[in-house]
Structure 1
Amino acid sequence: MTTLPSESIVSQPIARAFLDRSPLIAQRFPQQIVDADFCATRARHGASRSRLVELVAASMSNLSLSDEQNAALAVLRSPLSVATVTGQQIGLFGGPMYTIYKIRTAVEEARRVQEQTGVETVALFWLEDNDHDAAEASSAHLLDADGAVVDIDTWDKTDDRKSVSARSVDAAMYERITTAAALITGQHADAVRERYSEAYSNGALWADAFLAILQPYLAPWGVLVVRGSKVIESGLHLPILLRDVEQPGQLGAVLAAGTKTIEELGFTPQANVGSQAFFGSDDTGRQKIVVTDELLALAKEQPHRFTPGVLARPIVQDAILPTVVSVLGAAEIAYHAQLREAYEFCGVQMPMIVLRNGATLLDARTERLLSKDGHDVAWFMRTPDELERAIADVLTTNVIPAVELRNELLGALLAPYLTAAETIDQTLVATVRAQGAGVTSTLEALEGKLRSAAKRTQTLVVDRIRSIHALVSPRGVLQERVFPLAFWEARFGNTDLRIIVEHIARAPIGSHAVIGLSDLST
């Protein structure tokens, strides 16, 4: 296993500054360490432990808890315990791979906190199923038979304001999922299709299916789940909701102030701020809050009709849970930088923020192709257009004259003509230079034809490079953001994949590993 420098992976400016420990951004995250005192403070805050246990039990009611999860639940009952937390929305076929990397990073952080402070710590996964982005929750990316990335869409585009938590698989969606699953290939593909087919059975809630797919990883790691929808049903978000509706617009104004600070520091905010931090809902789905005289009474009587927006959700989470570490992706770190004032306004301590680990996985075929190719994995992390130019350079290096040599030779060829023009008729100097530019243009066109011909005559090399790129950097994007859990489970099996993810999470915080099955034997 090797690791890539974070500079080549994390490009989001705020997250980049966070990793570089820039004082400008560091001040936006007040909790820089987790010690016993911070754990004691956080353990005293949040919902009662009996309510938290009930919340987890309701969230995981469709799962059979493992011994490790039951042990974690017992720890959560203790009023002295704390939690490391990460979260994600629902995703088709287990969601993009970074979901499982986030979860395992939270597990490693729980172990680290417990070892360093002596405080019992559990890892919690917050499933944000209050989300209304059904398109994202029901889509994925796979490879077709030709090795090209294809988009998978399984939602019928109905009821677009309906919460994802209320959506279930119908017969038509099941057929679309089954058809898409035929594209899943690998040594373990049949087992994966069977397991996922069971999870997505007709009538299954999307959230239940998602957790059933994750459970072979959550179970041995002892990870507990909190569903955002169960939090809303329970009304545990009411204290933060009241901050938004008792004086309408005040929490939004505080969020706007934090956002303005980010702008004044020279950064572009990751998330937009609305006038209200929460959304309302009715029988037709999610709605923007309309401020009326009855709003406060409605919030107190029916808090389940209000859900937090993207900037209020982390505050709700940390107001309820005894969070000491929050494991985030780069974009999440960026919008958390807007939240310091809002956390303080709501009387909630912001936990320590940790960037999740990431990885680029290599299946056996890609490892073989890389061994023949000679380039390292980082070389392939480029856009498709950049790749095609790089391929042309690879195939024609030391064959087609370098640009510098071509320009040098052309300059030497034209020099006597320029001298003659300067001697005979100064007005012809421009003509000579124009002729030189024309020759340059002709040679560039010729070079393009030669590169295209090289690609045609060296198809094995070209196909190998494109195949590696399609898996390592599909569409020029980090692999972990494109292919879902099912894609890799079919190639490695969930046992070996779980071991690989454990290796990834043991690397230093925020690392991006390059790892394949061969690394398990070394």
Structure 2
Amino acid sequence: MPTDCIPFRATGYFSDFICDYLDQKKELKPLYNRFPTLENFKAQIKEKGHSELVSESRRKVLSKTLANQYGNIEASELTLSNIESLKSQNTFTITTGHQLNLFTGPLYFLYKIISTINLTEQLKSEYPDNNFVPIYWMASEDHDFDEINYFNFKGKKIQWNSDQTGAVGHFNTKGLEDVYEVVAAEFGSGKFAEQLKDWFKNAYISHNNLADATRCLANQLFGEYGLVIIDADDSELKGLFIPQMKKELIEQIAFKTVSETNETLENLGLKVQVNPREINLFYIHNGLRERIVFEDDTFKVLETEISWNKAELLNHLQEYPERFSPNVIMRPLYQEVILPNLCYIGGGGEMIYWLQLKSNFEAQGVTFPMLLLRNSALVKTKKQAEKLEKLNISDADLFLKRSSFINKKVRKISNIDIDFSEQIQHLKVQFEDLFKLAEQTDKSFLGAVKAQEVKQIKGLKHLEKRLLKAQKRKLKDQIERCTELQEQLFPGQSLQERNTNFSELYLEFGDELIPELIKALQPLQNEFTIITL
């Protein structure tokens, strides 16, 4: 299984913000606690271990809740052992989170979890006196159904339509029987196709809500590696978060702290990912998930008649903590309050908004985790690799935008040189002499000389484009073979991992897929991985 790597910045698909973080630019260092290196985990373990939030009693609540959530799941011995080990003071977690996308959604769902599993293995090897548990945090309280109700399969969008509202984890799986019929037809026949169908059926047809279905599917894929899946939409877990929610409701801490951080980022010329509200909690109950606001000395739930005064609200929070749901600003804090967590692994967009939140963690007295960019990868078959080599297409070429990719290939395979940069440079040198001559004779001619220079350079560039276009027509068949291959690996001219569902690769590689990905992906490498299977 040959692998290659290229820097994230060189791909052209990752923001300067996240690349600057990976480069550990000094301007960003105040935004995080420690950069994720194997050596830095020693201090993170010590700091988190001393936090009162990882007390024995709180650990017991976490372990008990997880055991209950796995009550109807056929979990591996390693997963059950991991859940039990969370009671111990020397056990810590590495966490990733993801929405409840239908059938995992884009391929990078796998990369997030594999990064998490592999990092726990590395840490156990480096710090054998501690235990490290890989956690998948399900975004069961999310309410953006349109983002998660489909997955792409060979250029087709397989979608689940439902008019349910509220937290998606509560959604009844009714209607997914029809989706299964579509899935079964699309996957076709054969051993690997039958396995995919079984996974879909066991998850979505055999469970009543989307959270349980997603837990089942993730467990089927990664249970043997000890993955622990948590649904934090739980009364007892939210009970552990009451002090932080109370502070948010009454003091509006996140709005003040994150707004200040955002201003700092904007002064650095960086684009912020999320903006805080005055209160960063939703009210969630019976299909409702709406914002809590403070208006006219009253706490209200938008679009409803629900309201409280301060005393009533705090009593309600104490009695029904499960009805209070953190938004994107508060969810990371909730995670770090209930888990003995050392590191969060996420995509580029997630990393950016986490970097906005450290000041809120400090105001709430919660240890800020290390932040690790998940592995990113491009998977190609041996046949595709052979075609790339035959067509003289490098890995770096594949990441070019389509027009640049085509132009580069035309120039490379053309029997004439269609690069006029040398001629243009020569022309500029000639005009430098003309400028000197005009300067010495009559300065009024400088404008005319400049206009002539612009005209001639423009003419050369136009001629270059025309010749390039003519060569594209002449080399049409070869260019089509190149672009067809790029489209296979970059569907819709986007990264494979952001578009393709794992089922396409599983049909190709079967049970070898996940083990081979686990071998190839190195979480602390901080480079884009290219894998040939």
The equivalent of 2:83 in structure 1 is 73
The equivalent of 1:210 in structure 2 is 214
Query: Match of 1:77, SS?
Result: coil
Distance 1:434 1:39 in 2: 63
Taking structure 1 as reference, are residues 435 and 468 closer, same or farther at Cα in structure 2, changes over 3 Å only? closer
AA in 2 matched with 1:50: K
The equivalent of 1:378 in structure 2 is 396
Distance 1:339 1:4 in 2: 30
Taking structure 1 as reference, are residues 90 and 280 closer, same or farther at Cα in structure 2, changes over 3 Å only? same
TM-fit CA distance, 1:79: 3.2
1:107 lines up with 2:107 in the alignment: no
2:380 to 348, 362, 379: 362
Taking structure 1 as reference, are residues 212 and 376 closer, same or farther at Cα in structure 2, changes over 3 Å only? farther
2:482 to 465, 470, 476: 465
Asked if 2 retains the 8 angstrom alpha-carbon contact of 1:392 and 1:454, the reply is: no
AA in 1 matched with 2:80: N
Distance 1:316 1:42 in 2: 15
1:310 lines up with 2:328 in the alignment: yes
2:59 to 43, 49, 71: 49
Taking structure 1 as reference, are residues 410 and 335 closer, same or farther at Cα in structure 2, changes over 3 Å only? closer
Alignment of 1:258-277 (within 5 A): 258-277=261-280
Task: After superposition, give the CA deviation of every residue in 1:416-448 in whole Å (9 maximum; x if it has no partner).
Answer: xxxxxxxxxx9x999999997897588457425
Gaps of 5+ in 2: 299-308, 429-444
The equivalent of 1:417 in structure 2 is none
Distance 1:162 1:207 in 2: 13
Asked if 1 retains the 8 angstrom alpha-carbon contact of 2:344 and 2:371, the reply is: yes
Distance 2:99 2:224 in 1: 22
TM-fit CA distance, 1:244: 1.3
Asked if 2 retains the 8 angstrom alpha-carbon contact of 1:192 and 1:490, the reply is: no
Distance 2:355 2:455 in 1: 57
Distance 2:341 2:189 in 1: 39
The equivalent of 2:355 in structure 1 is 337
Taking structure 1 as reference, are residues 233 and 49 closer, same or farther at Cα in structure 2, changes over 3 Å only? closer
TM-fit CA distance, 1:408: 9.3
1:481 to 498, 508, 512: 498
TM-fit CA distance, 1:205: 2.5
1:513 lines up with 2:529 in the alignment: yes
The equivalent of 1:399 in structure 2 is 416
2:508 to 479, 488, 491: 491
Asked if 2 retains the 8 angstrom alpha-carbon contact of 1:130 and 1:229, the reply is: yes
TM-fit CA distance, 1:464: 2.8
Distance 1:429 1:23 in 2: 47
Taking structure 1 as reference, are residues 185 and 448 closer, same or farther at Cα in structure 2, changes over 3 Å only? farther
Instruction: Give the total of aligned pairs.
Output: 494
The equivalent of 2:305 in structure 1 is none
Alignment of 1:407-426 (within 5 A): none
1:5 lines up with 2:7 in the alignment: yes
Asked if 2 retains the 8 angstrom alpha-carbon contact of 1:58 and 1:230, the reply is: no
2:148 to 137, 140, 156: 137
Distance 2:225 2:288 in 1: 35
TM-fit CA distance, 1:240: 2.0
Deviates more, 1:97-106 or 1:36-45: 36-45
Distance 1:375 1:185 in 2: 32
Taking structure 1 as reference, are residues 214 and 319 closer, same or farther at Cα in structure 2, changes over 3 Å only? same
1:454 to 432, 452, 474: 474
Query: Match of 1:27, SS?
Result: helix
Asked if 2 retains the 8 angstrom alpha-carbon contact of 1:315 and 1:343, the reply is: yes
Task: After superposition, give the CA deviation of every residue in 1:291-328 in whole Å (9 maximum; x if it has no partner).
Answer: 22143333222222211111111110000010112222
Distance 1:410 1:24 in 2: 43
Gaps of 5+ in 1: 145-149, 412-425, 518-522
The equivalent of 1:257 in structure 2 is 260
Alignment of 1:159-178 (within 5 A): 159=164, 161-171=165-175, 173-178=176-181
Distance 2:453 2:359 in 1: 63
2:246 to 223, 242, 249: 242
Deviates more, 1:123-132 or 1:387-396: 387-396
Asked if 1 retains the 8 angstrom alpha-carbon contact of 2:118 and 2:522, the reply is: yes
Deviates more, 1:191-200 or 1:286-295: 191-200
Taking structure 1 as reference, are residues 467 and 452 closer, same or farther at Cα in structure 2, changes over 3 Å only? closer
Distance 2:58 2:237 in 1: 16
Measured on the aligned residues, the alpha-carbon RMSD in Å equals: 3.5
Distance 2:484 2:195 in 1: 23
AA in 1 matched with 2:474: A
Deviates more, 1:186-195 or 1:82-91: 186-195
Distance 2:452 2:106 in 1: 58
AA in 1 matched with 2:334: V
TM-fit CA distance, 1:348: 0.7
Task: After superposition, give the CA deviation of every residue in 1:223-279 in whole Å (9 maximum; x if it has no partner).
Answer: 11111323687533322211211x153332222222223223332212122121111
Query: Match of 2:342, SS?
Result: strand
Taking structure 1 as reference, are residues 236 and 153 closer, same or farther at Cα in structure 2, changes over 3 Å only? farther
Asked if 2 retains the 8 angstrom alpha-carbon contact of 1:500 and 1:515, the reply is: no
TM-fit CA distance, 1:164: 0.9
AA in 2 matched with 1:156: N
The equivalent of 2:41 in structure 1 is 34
TM-fit CA distance, 1:111: 2.6
Distance 2:328 2:114 in 1: 23
The equivalent of 1:158 in structure 2 is 163
Taking structure 1 as reference, are residues 136 and 188 closer, same or farther at Cα in structure 2, changes over 3 Å only? farther
Query: Match of 1:269, SS?
Result: coil
1:116 lines up with 2:134 in the alignment: no
TM-score, normalised to structure 2, is: 0.82
Asked if 1 retains the 8 angstrom alpha-carbon contact of 2:136 and 2:229, the reply is: yes
Asked if 2 retains the 8 angstrom alpha-carbon contact of 1:382 and 1:476, the reply is: no
Distance 2:153 2:449 in 1: 58
Taking structure 1 as reference, are residues 467 and 57 closer, same or farther at Cα in structure 2, changes over 3 Å only? farther
Asked if 2 retains the 8 angstrom alpha-carbon contact of 1:333 and 1:353, the reply is: yes
AA in 1 matched with 2:528: H
Taking structure 1 as reference, are residues 410 and 13 closer, same or farther at Cα in structure 2, changes over 3 Å only? closer
The equivalent of 1:419 in structure 2 is none
TM-fit CA distance, 1:211: 2.8
Distance 1:322 1:286 in 2: 28
Distance 2:390 2:158 in 1: 36
TM-fit CA distance, 1:39: 4.9
Query: Match of 1:240, SS?
Result: helix
Taking structure 1 as reference, are residues 275 and 57 closer, same or farther at Cα in structure 2, changes over 3 Å only? same
AA in 2 matched with 1:122: V
TM-fit CA distance, 1:378: 2.0
Distance 1:217 1:434 in 2: 61
AA in 1 matched with 2:143: H
Taking structure 1 as reference, are residues 182 and 463 closer, same or farther at Cα in structure 2, changes over 3 Å only? farther
2:225 to 216, 221, 233: 221
TM-fit CA distance, 1:360: 0.9
